[in-house]
Structure 1
């Protein structure tokens, strides 16, 4: 039987990497509880000398942040829903049908996902203003879909290829239509892939900054990542750093909760297509 003992150095290395990754988050949380009037005075300390909640009270009393939080939630959810639905049908067609140029189409979809966003900001700015959708939800949802769909299609097509074709055929032999077989057999079997795609798309839409700050000008559609750059805190005489950190903690909490709750599904979705056979 193979020796499965792990060297202590691997444990130490893992702890070092974990601390290195968690340090920015811990520092952000620490700053969010420091007094904005005194956090720069005296000897610098990692943990606050006096823990205060005023930063969070200021954040939630600021209409700039609350409106941006609302925009982020709805824009991310709508973009995620549309991306998953469209990608699900497109990935199924790519996985099940044979037609000329299928591999080229899939490769081009992935190339679009790698296209630099900065190259599109200028043209989109002018186009959106002419179309009247600048500084609107739809003006952000469309470019979000443009970058989220290729990766979603690529990810989902790998899961649909893993599902045996015979299961769908058996359902149709039993009297199910093509739509019923897809909805009741294929989609449930591909649920880990669909769920993983939804989580990754939501994270992209939730954290996106360049398009959000370039295609908005007011609180009407500005999301949280863009709104934080305009945050000034309680008054013009105070540094906004502690307030920005408090707002960052608030918008990070949903992401952390989602990862902790659904980590098994996410890992299952990311590794389902890794082993064939």
Structure 2
């Protein structure tokens, strides 16, 4: 590689890294700054006196700084607390249901032959390609008639329409690459259910874990449906609750603290499951 090509390659990598991490750096910086520090121009590169005021405020607590300044609790605190609770409930339930439904579904499509298999696969692919906003109005109209707006069960159902097709499509490809060991098990007289639960599932453990993580992340970060279907109710989720900061007196530090809080579960999951993610990528 010539020096000129190496220079442009390094420059492209540097730009990509800055583009990726600059928003995260700005968010972390804002979360530990006061409103006065944020309003300064030129902007401060880092908080000179970092504090946890925003994190206390979003949970409904006042915070007294070392200099005696009192930072009042956020008016959005109740929505943030409700959002965290509801997001955890929705994400856990959606992940469990998606995994239970998709594992046998993906096995059937990947390992068995049956009529209309190709057309059903095309239907799954079509549902994956549809953006959520394209089905928002039909779902909202239906939910108003059924009384499901502002309910967790309604949000769980609509989120499953996103996670099941996406995770199924991913696991079908993973199951196809597994060795055809179930043929030998069938010769020995084992049932399809035994083959799936005792042979295929242990072999596909990494893929299933990654699929569960993807389902969790989709449900944890879901915003479009939550903003329309549950905002303002006791079923509000964290992404929808955070949007409330945009419709009141600007509190960028509290919004940044809420955003960091919402990023914590994905970071923790990615850290502890990185081995399985790498195994599925290699598969």
Q: With structure 1 as the length reference, what TM-score do the two structures score?
A: 0.87
Q: How does 1:7-156 map to 2 (within 5 A)?
A: 13-61=12-60, 62-156=77-171
CA-CA distance at 1:220 after TM superposition: 1.5
Contact kept, 8 Å, 1:195 with 1:269, in 2: the verdict is no
Matched with 1:3 is: none
Aligned partner of residue 39 in structure 1, secondary structure: helix
How much is the aligned-residue C-alpha RMSD, in angstroms? 2.2
Matched with 2:63 is: none
What CA distance in whole angstroms lies between the structure 2 residues aligned with 1:271 and 1:212? Answer: 35
Aligned partner of residue 168 in structure 2, secondary structure: helix
With over 3 angstroms needed to count, the CA separation of the structure-2 counterparts of 1:216 and 1:159, relative to structure 1, is same
Matched with 1:263 is: 274
CA-CA distance at 1:14 after TM superposition: 3.7
Verify: 1:193 aligned to 2:207, yes or no. Answer: yes
CA-CA distance at 1:156 after TM superposition: 0.9
Deviations 1:116-149 (A, max 9, x none): 2222222211211211221111111111111111
Contact kept, 8 Å, 2:105 with 2:168, in 1: the verdict is yes
What CA distance in whole angstroms lies between the structure 2 residues aligned with 1:169 and 1:99? Answer: 17
Contact kept, 8 Å, 1:67 with 1:219, in 2: the verdict is no
Contact kept, 8 Å, 1:168 with 1:185, in 2: the verdict is yes
With over 3 angstroms needed to count, the CA separation of the structure-2 counterparts of 1:245 and 1:114, relative to structure 1, is same
Give the counterpart of 1:169 among 168, 176, 183.
Answer: 183
Number of aligned residues: 263
CA-CA distance at 1:101 after TM superposition: 2.2
What CA distance in whole angstroms lies between the structure 2 residues aligned with 1:40 and 1:148? Answer: 41
What CA distance in whole angstroms lies between the structure 2 residues aligned with 1:108 and 1:42? Answer: 54
What CA distance in whole angstroms lies between the structure 1 residues aligned with 2:263 and 2:129? Answer: 25
CA-CA distance at 1:88 after TM superposition: 0.8
Contact kept, 8 Å, 2:33 with 2:47, in 1: the verdict is yes
Contact kept, 8 Å, 2:95 with 2:216, in 1: the verdict is yes
Matched with 1:178 is: 192
Deviations 1:184-226 (A, max 9, x none): 1100111121111111111111111110101114341111111
Aligned partner of residue 164 in structure 1, secondary structure: coil
Q: Which moved more, 1:139-148 or 1:13-22?
A: 13-22
CA-CA distance at 1:72 after TM superposition: 0.6
CA-CA distance at 1:164 after TM superposition: 2.5
